[in-house]
């Protein structure tokens, strides 16, 4: 099963990039990771909505929260429990929050 592990943190500098890269390399090697990236800080975000055919663009994230989306891992796990075990090893879990969500296949 595929899972998205969404990484939320107050400050992306709380965990060294090298530590996150090493973890990513380890789960690529184990065959559990098939994608993922770190994101630039939230002050670089732009939000877009289309209402009644009109495009509305605003700077920043959709909502104001303490923790912001800092990155994501797309993983493959045999079960939800295995996905949680993998997510618990993501370095930012020590200082932030990891949201684990099953990936839904779109129906034609």
pLDDT in tens, 24-47: 999 999 999 999 999 988 888 888
CATH number at residue 31: 3.30.70.1060
Inside any domain, residue 108: no
Number of domains in the chain: 1
Least confident of 11-20, 63-72, 86-95: 63-72
Rounded CA separation 72/77 (Å): 15
User: What is the predicted pLDDT for the residue at 1?
Assistant: 95
Residue percentage of the chain with pLDDT more than 90: 72
CA distance to 10, 59, 74, 75, per residue, from 45 (Å)? 15, 6, 21, 24
Structural domain for 49, as ranges:
2-102
């Amino acid at each position: 099963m595929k899972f998205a592990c969404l990484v939320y943190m107050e400050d992306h500098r709380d965990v060294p990039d090298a530590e996150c890269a090493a973890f990513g390399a380890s789960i690529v090697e184990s065959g559990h990771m098939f994608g993922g990236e770190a994101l630039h800080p939230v002050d670089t975000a732009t939000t877009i909505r289309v209402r009644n055919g009109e495009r509305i663009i605003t700077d920043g994230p959709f909502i104001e929260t303490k923790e912001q989306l800092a990155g994501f891992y797309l993983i493959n796990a045999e079960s939800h429990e295995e996905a949680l075990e993998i997510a618990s090893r993501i370095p930012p879990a020590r200082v932030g929050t990891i949201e684990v969500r099953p990936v839904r296949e779109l129906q034609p």
